[in-house]
A and B are shown apart, each in its own frame.
Chain A
Amino acid sequence: MDSFSLYGKIISKDNVPLGGMNIQAFDQDSIDPDDLLGQSTTDSNGIFKIDFDKSKFSKAWELLEGTPDVYLVINDSHRNQLLKTKVMQTRKEIDYHVKNNGEHDTPDPNAKDIYAGNARRLITMLRDVGNILSKENQINLNMLQNANLSEDIKKDIQNFVNDNEDRSNNFKQIIAVLASLSDTVLEELHIDDIGYDGPQVPRYPRREQYNKVIIWPKNEVFKWA
């Protein structure tokens, strides 16, 4: 695991590839100045690649430095810094996708929480689905017993009623999955334990300053590359 690769693509806020951008990759050190791992320029498709090996970040005295803590600095063709990515560890590669917004939109800390009330929406939907099991089934049972139905309608209602056990099992399954996943911080929980790289933007994008950078670290070279 001695060679590493950083690659990616940069587009403008109008979704146009940005060529001629200067990309510098650094390894963040806690005490010493950050090591420059390498640099490159984006081609006309906005694509860049920086390869480096361990020697670039691990000096003789840095015995604990196994994996680099990588961040990119992106400068325009005049060397003005456009943005700095957040730090990400990798054992092999990182795939970057950057949308350069230029001037940031001003964050509004009081921007309305449009997700509030989703719990109510979800509960309403679940209840509507549950009603198919209870209320509607009851009505159908009642109609079968009391109403004078034609044969074809009777058959369809009977089928519905016969399926109720299967339907009930399916519903239990849905509830079970939901119950085990009801955490809205599910993604955050899983980042560490299964190595899932989750959402790449803040939960309230309008309330914060953030870079539109997607960082996908990989720990192996792909077998079928």
Chain B
Amino acid sequence: MGIIYGIEELPQRNENYKVIITDIVEETDICIVGSGAAGAVLAKELVESGKRVVLLEKGGYYEGKDMNQREADMMPLLWKNAGFNFNDSLRIAIAQGCCLGGSTIINDAVCFDTPPRVREEWSNKYGVDFSNDEWTNHLKRVNETLHVTEVEDNELNRNNMMLREGARKLGLRDHRKNSRNCVNCMQCGFCHIGCHYETKQNVLVTYIHQALKNPDSQIRIYCNCNVTKIVYRNGRVEGVDGDFVDIDGNKKYRIRVNAKVFIISAGAIASSKLLLTNGIAQDTAGKGLCLHPGIQVLGDFDYEIKGNEGIPMAYTVHDFGVDRKTDETRKEYNFDSGGEFLIESIFIPLFQFSIALSASSIIEHRKLIERFNNYAMAGIVVRDGNIGKVSLTATGRASVTYEAGENELKVLAKGVEVLGKMWFRLGARRIIIPHRNLSVIDREDDIPKLIDKILHDPKNLLLGSAHPQSGNRIGADAADSVVDSNCRVHGLGNLFVCDASVFPTAVGVNPQLSVMTIASIIASRIQRDWDAQYGPLNLGKQLDKVCEISQPMYCLRDNLSQMFDSVDTQFGAQTLINSVNDKADESNWKFDAETLMITNNSHWKGIFPRDIDLRNTLTLYFGGFWKRFSDSKKPTISSTSVSSLSSDITGITHPFEVPVFAVNTALDTRLDGFGRVVLLKYRDPPYNMFYDVLKIVDENTVLGKAFFTNPQPGREILTFSMSRRYPLEYMTEEDHEMLYSKMKKPSMESMIGVWEGQLVSDSTWTDPVFRFRFYFENNTTGRILKNDYLFNNTLAGTATVEEKEDHLEMHDETKIFHDELRQIDGNMVIGKYYSETKFALGWLPSEGLSFLHLDTQRSTIYLPYILKKIGNESIFRNRFG
């Protein structure tokens, strides 16, 4: 039986559901990112073929009984960004789902097969090699699983019938009832905010349900899980990392999934973002996005329609679409060589309806709403070209750049012409479109004015998009495509992208069946190739940055505390002894370049759990500490002899930022409620009121709790861990100095690209606070290496890089600062930022001054930092071509 995990406490669920309480490390066959139309199909098909599957979903798990038919309640739970999902100009609203089941939870359940013309185009022009048999068989399979049925005559509501009647009046030839994945629909009209009655056959109640209920099924689904990192090396993906995020957007637990195969199905925008953020397909991902831009045209009638009552989308005019059966109508409307569009009957609940009318002024708006029961509504949906793009901004946000082109506007205008005529012929007193400068006309003869506005004042036309697609297209050539015909990313043997983003061009009809069919085909291909290509791959079991007893620095406080409670100390106080020399040097300090671990036995580095709020004054003082232990032999006098020497292990505790050195003694003992421990008793006031209870779990790792007065279970004031062998990102300033002294100068070539910098302090690294872009610039004397820098998202400038004997040196034009750089490996550089004046430090985050380090040899201060490479030139380029 499968199981769903999430971060939220939820009322009784239909499926097996558990709340997670720790970090997660998974080992599995296949990891799928995204549980929408594609992800759910892939998960079910692959789990039924006997594979182990982990499915990661960013949104939450909601089912029928949660859908209360109120937009203000449901949109934040089901829609991506609660509905605030726009292109960069904020003019085009893009509807996508973000929940278990994805956009299929909030769509209108319209099912159209992939049009033959589109399949041919994809095959002939773009090399998509799905055979006819594959298309047919998998389309059939999807249709059956979703119980796709044609709408009955008696299921057409008044709004649908308006479109039918209008099409008849105009003598159109190719209009018909839709097929839907809905069985005995309750016709509530609230498809967009989830089906309360569970008649809509979305992927949650079909594919995901089937994947879970099979007793042999080995699937685990994680909700509220935002995947950010894809870890890959030498052409192979090893793992993905994600964070579990609560409703306030705070990261709580972490997950690392190790798998043989990874599939990204996060939807047209998020899939491109994930690739670009991880430096994959940087020149191609996100290019050629399509949106199927559309507008709704309202007719205002003197008779009652009540369009919101009933099935929102049950009727479509195909005469001008890519799936049309005849060209006659196009000829009649002088549109023969034009593009393609559908006219789809649609109605929406009140809140979204208001947004659709938002082109009008506020006063107008109120009067327009009053006519709600008298409107007929239909949408023009345009099959657009690959004219959009998803890229990353300087702040790492996914930016959608899209403006309707001349072709798209002409198509929209034709649609408005046809639909406008239709409404007037049915007796409309006026029609309304979402154009800010002309939204209402009351005569058919004025339709050309609307067309003129659309064509010549497009910036004031508010468009909507419900079908973002393409951007990571299928193709044979890595230079202009992201995946091959098996949806495998070029250059990465076990990474796939499979969702609407792989369409080479816009599909021209509502896309969910096409997405699911492709997913079904790819699932069967992965199965087919499993034994030869994927099964034999070695699964890395990497913990990465998750909480585990051997790496307690990654834990949240509750988990650390539980770990502490569950063990006795494995070693005695003797093990705590550090090197004789209390400074780092050759004898007690080591860096392992393979594992990127530092061993420093001059002291134990103390680390607080990652959820402690560093702005709390108490922990700011103790925001990092070390403890150092040595043994001091002294004679004991017993009643019988003077011979034995007992060993006292004495220690010193020093918080990094304050001049406190608290002397203590370490005793092996057993405490009630704690088991066997090492107890630290502090010698001098005021510290002698404090006690530390330590449990040594291995030679290099200690868990600890601090108490005020006698230790009692549950009464700890601090929980922490200590380590003398730790990953790079826990380095102290002294470690940074040692490391720098051992590293070599990087070549100028190896610096090209975009890097993020983090400052190093004794307690912790900062989040990335600056960004560098290195590139060559040609000048009269040859070429020079330059760096465009962006500090803390506030200060930008340019610097020049020179090669010195044992480091690279960077100077800005004002010569106020300079940097010295050496290389740790291909993706990491260690640096020092020397500044002559305080002015140049103004950009530091407020705690920044504690990062300054004294360079004793030069009698000056510097900021130690680490650079990590995040990509090459092109992710910083916002260009498509």
Contact = CB atoms under 8 A, between A and B. Distances in A.
Interface of A: 9, 11, 15-17, 46-47, 95, 97, 99, 105, 108, 111-112, 114-115, 117-118, 120-122, 124-126, 128-129, 132, 135-136, 138-140, 142-143, 145-150, 152-153, 156-157, 160, 163, 166-167, 170-171, 173-174, 176-177, 180-181, 184, 186-187, 190, 193-206, 212, 214, 216, 218-220, 222-225
A216 B162 contact: no
Interface in B69-94: 69-70, 72-73, 76-77, 81-84, 86, 88-91
Contacts of A126: 84
Contacts of A149: 788
Contacts of B597: none
23 contacts: A15-B197, A97-B188, A99-B186, A114-B10, A115-B73, A121-B82, A124-B249, A135-B395, A138-B794, A139-B794, A143-B788, A146-B795, A147-B796, A156-B877, A174-B90, A177-B358, A177-B365, A194-B370, A195-B373, A196-B308, A201-B67, A214-B187, A218-B306
Interface stretch (B36-44, B347-355, B446-454, B672-680): B347-355
Interface residues of B, number: 84
B645 interface: no
Contacts of B73: 115, 118, 184, 203
Main secondary structure on B side of the interface with A: loop
A46 B68 contact: no
B84 A129 contact: yes
Given A148-B786, A186-B351, A97 B187 contact: yes
Given A118-B73, A166-B89, A166-B459, A136 B350 contact: no
Contact of B88 (A16, A167, A187, A201): A167
Task: Give 7 closest A-B pairs by Cβ, nearest first.
Answer: A199-B69, A156-B878, A170-B90, A216-B309, A148-B798, A115-B73, A121-B76
B796 A194 contact: no
A206 to B, nearest CB: 5
B310 interface: yes
B90 A171 contact: yes
Contact of A186 (B9, B72, B190, B199): B72
Nearest to A111: B11
Given A121-B247, A124-B249, A194-B370, 5 more contacts: A17-B184, A122-B82, A129-B84, A177-B354, A219-B304
Interface string B354-398: 110010001001000110110000000000000000000111010
Interface string B840-881: 000000000000000000000000000000000000111100
A111 B362 CA distance: 39
Nearest to A195: B373
Contacts of B11: 108, 111-112, 114, 206
A112 B10 contact: yes
Contacts of A223: 303, 427
B196 interface: yes
Of B68, B90, B162, B427, most buried by chain A (CB within 10 Å of CB) is B90
Contacts, number: 221
B790 interface: yes
A167 to B, nearest CB: 5
Nearest to B70: A199
Of B11, B395, B798, most buried by chain A (CB within 10 Å of CB) is B11
A136 B158 contact: no
B62 interface: yes
Contact of A139 (B83, B395, B786): B395
B670 interface: no
B405 interface: no
A150 B786 CA distance: 12
Contact of B196 (A153, A198, A201): A201
Contacts of A156: 877-879
Contact of A205 (B196, B354, B777): B196
Given A177-B358, A199-B70, A136 B395 contact: yes
B373 A136 contact: no
Of A124, A125, A128, A176, most buried by chain B (CB within 10 Å of CB) is A125
A97 B182 CA distance: 15
B796 A139 contact: yes
Given A146-B796, A170-B90, A197-B309, A153 B878 contact: yes
Contact of B350 (A11, A190, A201): A190
Contact of A114 (B77, B190, B370): B77
Interface in B283-305: 303-305
B165 interface: yes
Contacts of A201: 67-69, 196
A184 B249 CA distance: 23
B350 A186 contact: yes
Contact of B84 (A125, A152, A166): A125
Interface of B: 8-12, 62, 65-70, 72-73, 76-77, 81-84, 86, 88-91, 154, 158, 161-162, 165, 183-184, 186-188, 190, 196-199, 247-249, 303-306, 308-310, 350-351, 354-355, 358, 362, 365, 369-370, 372-373, 393-395, 397, 426-427, 459, 775, 777, 786, 788-790, 793-798, 876-879
Given A129-B90, A196-B350, A222-B161, A216 B70 contact: no
Contacts of A9: 184
A202 B372 contact: no
Of A166, A173, A176, most buried by chain B (CB within 10 Å of CB) is A173
B394 A120 contact: no
B154 A47 contact: yes
A147 B67 CA distance: 50
B184 A46 contact: yes
Contacts of A170: 89-91
B350 A187 contact: yes
Contacts of B9: 112
Contacts of B786: 148
A184 B158 contact: no
Contacts of A115: 68, 73, 76-77
B165 A181 contact: no
A114 B62 contact: yes
Contacts of B395: 135-136, 139
A147 B796 CA distance: 6
Nearest to A203: B68
Nearest to A145: B796
A170 B11 CA distance: 39
B767 to A, nearest CB: 16
A150 to B, nearest CB: 8
B81 A128 contact: yes
A167 B91 CA distance: 7
A99 B373 CA distance: 25
Of A148, A153, A160, A204, most buried by chain B (CB within 10 Å of CB) is A148
A214 B186 contact: yes
Contact of B796 (A120, A143, A199): A143
Contact of B248 (A120, A143, A218): A120
A115 B362 CA distance: 28
A220 B373 CA distance: 11
A166 B458 CA distance: 12
A182 to B, nearest CB: 8
A42 to B, nearest CB: 12
Contacts of B89: 163, 166-167, 170
Contact of A135 (B372, B789, B793): B793
Contacts of A176: 358, 362
A9 B183 CA distance: 13
Contacts of B70: 184, 187, 199, 203
Contacts of B797: 146-147
A142 B161 contact: no
Of B68, B187, B786, most buried by chain A (CB within 10 Å of CB) is B68
Contacts of A197: 306, 308-309
Given A15-B198, A140-B394, A184 B184 contact: no
A72 to B, nearest CB: 16
A146 B799 CA distance: 11
Contact of A194 (B196, B248, B372): B372
